Amino acid sequence: MTKIAIVDDHELMAKALSGLVQKFDGFDVIFEVSSGAALIERLRLNMIPDIILLDVSMPDMDGYEVSFWLKSNLPDIKILALSMNDKEEAIIKMLRNGAVGYLLKGCKPQELKLALESLTTKGHYYTDYLTSRLIKGLSPESIATPIDQLGLNDREKRFIELACSDLTYVEIADKMCISPRTVDGYRESVFLKMNVKSRVGMVLEAIKLKIVDLGYK
C-alpha cells in the first residue's frame, strides 16, 4: 500500500483530494495538514508517506519552500505538486526544488490516479505539457540562487545580513526600523526556511550558501 500525505491550506480541497485518493486501489492517505510547518511536525513524529500531494500556493511556507526542505531532509519522499498556476516559471521552480510531478488542480480524477501510479512505478510523472516547457528552463544557466530556493524575501535577507554581525536583536530591529517583535517573526521564519535552530547555525548556513560573506559590515 502506497502511503499518501496531503498538504493544502484549503481544508475542503484537502478533504476532497483525500476522499478521491482513498478510492484508488493501492493508495492510503495517512494524514492531511494545512501548512508546511504542520507537515514537518508530522514527519518529525516519523509519520513518513511515500508520496506528498503538495499545494504550491500557501501562506507562510509555500510549496517551493516545503519541497526544498523535503529535498534537503527527506529526499526519498516523492512530491507531486498541485496548483492552479500553469506558468512555466512556477513549474520549473517546483521541479528544481524537488517535485517529481506537477498537476493542475483542474485535472480529471483519472489523471491524478495516473500520476500517482507513475510516481509509484517510475518515480516521476511528466506530461507532454510539462516536458515541452522544461527543456530550456532546466538548463544549468537557469539554476535558482539559494535565496530563491529557500524562498527568502528582501527583508528576511536583510535580517540575515544584520544577524551575521555582532548586533543584538534589539539593535537589528532599530537598524531595520521595525519592532523587536517583528524581528522575532523574521527570526522564526528564517530559522524554519533554513532548517536551523540557532543564530550561530543560521550564520554558518548563510556563509555556506553564500547568502552573505565574511566581509559583510
Q: Looking at residue 191, which CATH number applies to its domain?
A: 1.10.10.10
149-166 pLDDT, tens per residue? Answer: 788 889 999 999 999 888
**Confidence at residue 110, expressed as pLDDT on a 0 to 100 scale:** 94
Please report the DSSP string for 166-190 in residue order. T--HHHHHHHHTS-HHHHHHHHHHH
One domain for residues 128 and 55:
yes
One domain for residues 49 and 100:
yes
One domain for residues 12 and 95:
yes
- Name the maximum alpha-carbon separation found in the chain: 59
179-197 pLDDT, tens per residue? Answer: 999 999 999 999 998 988 8
One domain for residues 72 and 92:
yes
What are the residue ranges of helices labelled H in the chain? 11-22, 36-44, 63-73, 88-96, 109-121, 128-137, 146-150, 154-163, 169-176, 180-194, 199-208
Please state, rounded to an integer, the average pLDDT across all residues of the chain: 88
One domain for residues 74 and 158:
no
1-16 pLDDT, tens per residue? Answer: 999 999 999 999 999 9
**Confidence at residue 170, expressed as pLDDT on a 0 to 100 scale:** 95
Number of domains the chain is built from:
2
One domain for residues 127 and 163:
no
Domain annotation covers residue 217: no
Question: Of 142 and 210, which is predicted with more confidence?
Answer: 210
Query: Which residue segment(s) compose the domain that 151 sits in?
Result: 146-208
Q: How many CB atoms lie within 10 A of CB 191?
A: 16
Find the radius of gyration of the CA atoms of the chain.
19
Q: For residues 103 and 109, what is the distance between their CA atoms, to the nearest angstrom?
A: 11
